[in-house]
A = this chain, B = another copy of it.
Amino acid sequence: MDHIIELARKAKDASRTLANISSEVKNKALLLMAEHIRENRDRIIKENEIDVRDAKRANLSSAFIDRLTLSEHRIEGMINGLKDVASLPDPVGEIIRMWRRPNGLQVGKMRVPLGVVMIIYESRPNVTVEATSLCLKSGNAVILRGGKEAFRSNRVIAKILRDCCREVGIPSESVSFVETTSRKAVKELIKFDDCIDVIIPRGGEEMIREIRNEARVPVIAHGKGNCHVYIDKDADLQMALDIAYNAKVQRPGVCNAMETLLVHKDKAREFLPKIVRMLKDAKVEIRGCKETKKIVGDIRDATESDWFTEYLDLILAVKVVDSIDDAISHIAKYGSCHTEAIVTSSYENSQRFLREVDAAAVFVNASTRFTDGGEFGLGAEIGISTQKLHARGPMGLEELTSTKFIIFGEGQIRE
C-alpha cells in the first residue's frame, strides 16, 4: 500500500502550493478542463461504454446503469459545470469580518482551503468533474475514489483534468485518482489524517456507516433524506396539493423528495382524497395510517418500518396527525434531519416549525425539492451534509474552506 500513502503525501504537498495559487490561474485551469473534456468526449464515451457493458453483464439495475451512462448531453453538463464554477467568486483569502479591539488590534477571519479533500462516490462519473472543479476553485487538492463500476470512465476523465492542471502550472497531484479498485486502499487512506483533511462519502447508508466507523480523518457525510411535508390545519388547499405532489413526483429518486406526508386531522377530509387521486394517477403507491385508510379507502397499511424508510421511489407513507406538535414529534422520531416542510397559513405555526424542527433545511410553503446548492444560490454543490459539524445542508465552495484569524497590530503586547 506504499503507493497509496505516497499518493496522499503528494496530494498534501500539492495542496500547500495550490493554497497560494491565484484565482486567475485556477479559473484558467477550469476553462481548459472544459475545453479538453469537449475535445476528448469520444474517448470518454468509449471508455464509458466499456464500463456500461460490464455493468450490464453483471446484471446491475437499470437505475444504476442510467447513473453510470455518459451521453453527449451529460458531457455537455460537465462542461457547463466547469464554466459555472470558473465564474463563481473565489472563496480563498476572503476576509469574512474584521473588528477592532480596545487595544487597537484589528482582528479578522480569513477563508483558507481545508487542504486535501477525499471524495468517495458511487456510479456517477460526472461527480469526478464536479468534485474536482469545486475542490480546485476552493484551493483544495482532491483525492477521487469513484465506484469500481465507473473505473474506466473516471480514470480517463481524471487524466484529462490532471493534464490541464499541469498545463497551467498547478501541480498535477492536486487531482489524484486512486488507481485501484481495492477496498484496502480506501481503508488505508481514511486513516491517514496526517495528509487528508476531510472525507466526503456520497452513497448508500451502509458505505457511509463503514467509513465513519473506520475513518480517523473527519467525515462529512451526505446521508439519507427521509423528508416530510406537513399539511397544517390552515393550509391553502391548492398550495398544499401543488407542494405535496411536486415533492413526491417531480423526481422521486433523490434525497430531497418527500417520503412521508403528514396531514392535520382537520384538513384530512378535504385534502387527502384529492392528493391521493393525483398521486395514484402518477403511479404512486400509497401506504397509510388507520385514519388515512378511513378517508381514502383502498390503500396498503403503513407499518412502523414505513415511517423510517427513504423509498427513493414512487411510494409514499401518509399519516393523519392530531396537531402540529404531533407532526413535529413524528419528524423528530423518524426523520433523518435532511429536509422538512410545512404548508400553513398560520404565522405562529410557521415560526414554531422553523424553530423546533431539527433538519439541515426547513421550508415554509415550498417544495422539499429545493434543497440543493444550485437552487439555494450557492452556485454548485459537492454534497448535502446531514450532520451538524462544519457544514450542514448543501455544501458549496465556502463549505470547502476553513478560516484563520488574522491580526494586525502596531506592537501590542499582553499585560
Given A366-B412, A370-B412, the answer on whether A407 and B99 have CB atoms closer than 8 Å is no
Is A63 on the interface with B (CB-CB < 8 A)? no
Q: Which of A67-75, A151-159, A235-243, A298-306 contacts B (4 or more CB under 8 A)?
A: A235-243
Q: Mark A326-368, 1 if CB is under 8 A from B, else 0.
A: 0000001000000000000000001000111011111111110
Is A87 on the interface with B (CB-CB < 8 A)? no
A198 CB contacts on chain B under 8 angstroms: 389
A404 engages B243 (CB within 8 Å): no
Which listed residue (B105, B362, B364, B376) contacts A366, Cβ 8 A? B105
Chain A residues 278 to 320 lying within 8 A of chain B, measured CB to CB, are none
Q: Please report A residues at the B interface, Cβ cutoff 8 Å.
A: 16, 19-20, 93, 99, 101, 105, 107, 110, 112, 114-115, 193, 197-198, 212-213, 216, 218, 220, 236, 238-239, 242-243, 245-247, 250, 332, 350, 354-356, 358-367, 369-371, 375-377, 387-390, 392-394, 402-415
Beyond the given A112-B388, A364-B409, please list 19 additional residue pairs across the A-B interface where CB-CB is below 8 A.
A20-B355, A93-B355, A101-B376, A105-B366, A197-B388, A212-B216, A245-B413, A250-B415, A360-B405, A361-B406, A362-B407, A363-B409, A365-B409, A365-B410, A367-B413, A367-B414, A389-B402, A392-B402, A393-B405
A–B pairs, 5, beta carbons within 8 Å: A101-B377, A212-B216, A238-B411, A367-B412, A370-B407
